[in-house]
Structure 1
Amino acid sequence: MRMMTGARPAPTACIGAIDPFSKCRVPAAVPALREVNLLIKLLHATRRGSMARIFHDEDAPLDAVTGKTIAVIGYGNQGRSWAQNIRDAGLDVRVGTLADTSRAQAESDGFAAHAISDAVAEADVVCLLIPDEVMGDAVSTSVAPTLKADAAVCFASGYAVAFDEVTLPDTNDVVLVAPRMIGVGVRDSYLDGSGFIAFIGVERDATGSAWPVALGIARALGALHRGSVEMTCRQEALIDLFVEQAIAPGLRKLWSDAAMVLLEAEIPLEAVLAEFYLSGEIERTYRAMREIGPTKQWKLHSQTSQYGTMSRAQAL
C-alpha cells in the first residue's frame, strides 16, 4: 500500500536532531543517552541525510485523542498492555477481539469487548495489535469494511504497510506507534513511570491531524517519557526484521558454537550454563551499556576484559 507522508509538525526545543550539544532535554532516566547522542552525531557526520527526530511528553498534548473512541484490536501480550495504558491515561477505550479466551480476559479486565468489526465501526482511532501473518486478512474482512471515513488507523508494526499487505481507504490517516518493548514491559514501564522507547511516524495524513493523533496515542501509552524516534513503516520493518532474522539467529549460533568449544575443552556443562546465562553477568553488562553508555561501562571490567573486547573485535 503506497502512502504519502503528511506534513510533519515543526520541531520544538526538544524535538529535532539527537544532539548532545543542543538544549534538547536528555531524560534523567537514560543517562547513557548523552554518550549515545555523541556516537550518533559522529555516525551522521560520516553519511548524508538528516538526523532523526526525538519526541517527548511535552511535544504531545492529549487533546487530539481526548474525547475520541479508541479501539484496540487484539488482546494478546501487546494489546492488553495498550488497552490498559490508554485507559489509565483517561481515554475512552474498547476492545475488539475474537470470541475466545482473549475476549473473556478483556471483559475480566473491565473493558467493553466486541467483535472486531463492531469495535472498528465505533472508533475514531483504531489500534491494530494483531500478528503480521494475519493482518492482511483481518484488515480486509473486519477492519476496512466498517472503518469510519475519517478514522485514524494506528499500526504497532510497520510490516503490513511496508510490504503492501493491507489496503485502506484514501480518507483514513495511517500512523505508526511501534514499541521497542515486549508486551508485559509496555505495561510494567507505564506503571513504574519509566516509560519505553518506540518508533513513531505518519504514513498518510488524510485529515491533517495524523501527527497529533500519533503523538497522542504514543504519549497515552507511555512511549514518549524516555523519547521516541521518528521512523517510516518501511524503516521500522527493516530494522525489526534485521534484528529478528540476522542478529538474533547470529547470537544464538554464536552461543551454541561457543558452548560446544568449551564442552570439548572439558569445561563442565553446569559451568558453561552459569557463565552464559544463569549468573546474569552478561545481562548486567548490557544493562550498564544502556544506563551509563557502551564505552563507560568498560571501566566496570578488568583490563584483560577491556583489552580483549577492543582488540579481538578488530580481528573478527
Structure 2
Amino acid sequence: MPAKKWLDNQVSLAPVKDQTVAVIGYGIQGRAQASNMKDSGLNVIVGLRKGGKTWKQAEAEGHKVMEVAEAAKAANIIHILIPDMEQADTYKKEIAKHVTEGKALSFSHGAAIHWKWIVPPKNVDVIMVAPKGPGQRVRELYQEGFGTPSLVAVYQDHTGKAWDRVLAMAKAIGSTRPGVLQTTFKEEVETDWFGEQVDLCGGAHAMVMNAFETLVEAGYQPEVAYFECLHELKLIVDLIQKYGITGMYNRVSETARYGGLTRGPRVIDKEAKKKMKEALKEIQSGDFAEEWVSKYKKEGKNSFARYMKEIENHPVEKVGREMRKMMWPDAPEV
C-alpha cells in the first residue's frame, strides 16, 4: 500500500498558531527548524544550557532563548533536537517534570521513543517530523521558497489533535511544499539507521575507499583515482536524486551505461546484500542500539575517534585535501 502523503494546500498552521514551540537544541537541525518555524509565524523559543556556545548565536539570530527546563515549562510543544545520546539524560533532568497534560513531546528522529530511552506520560501527544536532509539544506530550501520533504509520525495521540499538530509543524518548516509522508517511529528509526550504515554513509565511504585503493594499487595516479572514485560520485548521485536510476543511466555515456549495468551488480552482489540483511537484523533486534548506548556511556564522543583517525589518514583523504584546495581554495577543511 502506498504511503499516505500530504502537500502544502492540504495542511494548515492553525492548530499550532496559538501554541508555543520550544526547540531544545540549536545544532544543525535545531537552528534550521527553529528559524523556519519562526519565519512561518509560530511562537518559537529555543531551549539551551546557559553559557553554551549556541546561546549567543540563537539570540543574535532573533530567537527568544531560555534554559532548557524553563523553555519546556513555557511550551505547549517540546521539540527535542539535541543528539540522540543526550536526549534521555536531558529529558530526565530538565524536561520530564514539565511534560504535563495536553502538551506534545516532539522529535525529528524516533530512537529515544522507539527504544524506550524516554518513556513519556500517557496524557501527552508524542509526535515526530523528520526532515529528509541535513539542517543546512532544510534552511536553504525554505529560504528559496521550497522545502525539504519530511516523514511524519504519531506515537501517542492523547488530545485527538496530534496529527494536526505534527502536520502544522511540518508545514512551518517548509516540508509540505515538496510533500510529507506518513510513517511510524519504528519504521523511521530502523530505515534511517539502515540507510546510514549500509548505503548513505558507511556503504558509500567503504565503496569509495576500496575503489580508490584498487586503482592506486594497480599503479594509477592517486589524483586521477580521486576524481574517478570520489569527486564524480556527486555528479551521479545528483542525477539519481533528480531523475531516478533509469534517468541517470539515460544521461551518461553508452559505455558508462553498459559497464555500470553489467559490472555493478557483480561488485555489489548477493554476498553484499546478505551482509546488508545482517546489519538490518542487528538494528531490528535492538543489538545495534544496545551496542551504541554501551559504547557512548564508556567513551562518549571519543567513540568515533579510532575510526575517524583511520579514515583521516587514508590516502584518499590526503589526496582529496590537496585536490579540494586546488578546486576550492577558500573552502574550509573540516
TM-score (norm 2): 0.77
Q: What pairs with 1:245-260 in structure 2 (closer than 5 Å)?
A: 245-247=197-199, 248-260=201-213
Q: What pairs with 1:177-196 in structure 2 (closer than 5 Å)?
A: 177-196=129-148
Q: What pairs with 1:15-94 in structure 2 (closer than 5 Å)?
A: 50-94=1-45
- Post-superposition shift, 1:259? 1.0
Give the corresponding residue for 1:172: 124
- Post-superposition shift, 1:276? 2.7
Which amino acid is 1:293 matched to? G
Which amino acid is 1:111 matched to? H
Identity %: 31
Q: Distance in 1 between matches of 2:71 and 2:104?
A: 14
Q: Distance in 1 between matches of 2:71 and 2:12?
A: 25
Give the corresponding residue for 1:199: 151
- Post-superposition shift, 1:275? 2.0
CA RMSD of aligned residues (A): 1.3
- Indicate which of 105, 111, 114 corresponds to 1:153: 105
- Post-superposition shift, 1:163? 0.6
Which amino acid is 2:86 matched to? V
- Indicate which of 92, 95, 120 corresponds to 2:46: 95
Given that residues 73 and 96 in structure 1 are in contact (C-alpha distance below 8 angstroms), is that contact kept between their aligned partners in structure 2?
Answer: yes
72-81 or 239-248, which moves further after superposition?
A: 239-248
- Post-superposition shift, 1:293? 2.5
- Post-superposition shift, 1:110? 1.6
Q: Unpaired runs of 5+ in structure 2?
A: 270-334
Q: Distance in 2 between matches of 1:213 and 1:192?
A: 24
Q: Once the two structures are superposed, what CA deviation does each residue of 1:176-230 show, in whole Å capped at 9, x if it has no partner?
A: 1011111111110100122111110110000000000000000000111111211
- Post-superposition shift, 1:124? 0.9
- Post-superposition shift, 1:146? 1.5
Which amino acid is 1:274 matched to? F
Task: Say yes or no: does 1:308 pair with 2:277.
Answer: no
Q: Larger % of helix: which?
A: 2
Give the corresponding residue for 1:217: 169
Give secondary structure in 2 for the equivalent of 1:101: coil
Give secondary structure in 2 for the equivalent of 1:196: coil
Q: Distance in 2 between matches of 1:314 and 1:266?
A: 25
Q: Unpaired runs of 5+ in structure 1?
A: 1-49
Give the corresponding residue for 1:284: 235
TM-score (norm 1): 0.81
